[in-house]
Amino acid sequence: MEDSYLICKTSAGITGYIPLNTGYMVKNGNQYTIHLKSKSVTVTVGK
pLDDT of 1-47, one tens digit each? 557 888 877 778 888 888 888 888 899 898 888 877 756 666 666 65
pLDDT of residue 12: 81
pLDDT of residue 43: 65
Backbone angles phi, psi at 24, to 5 degrees: -115, 15
Residue type, 26: V
The DSSP bridge pattern shows strands 39-44 and 15-19 to be: unpaired
pLDDT of residue 16: 82
This prediction's pTM: 0.51
Q: What is the spatial distance between Cα 24 and Cα 15, in angstroms, rounded to a whole number?
A: 21
Sign of CA dihedral 24, 3, 28, 33: positive
pLDDT of residue 1: 56
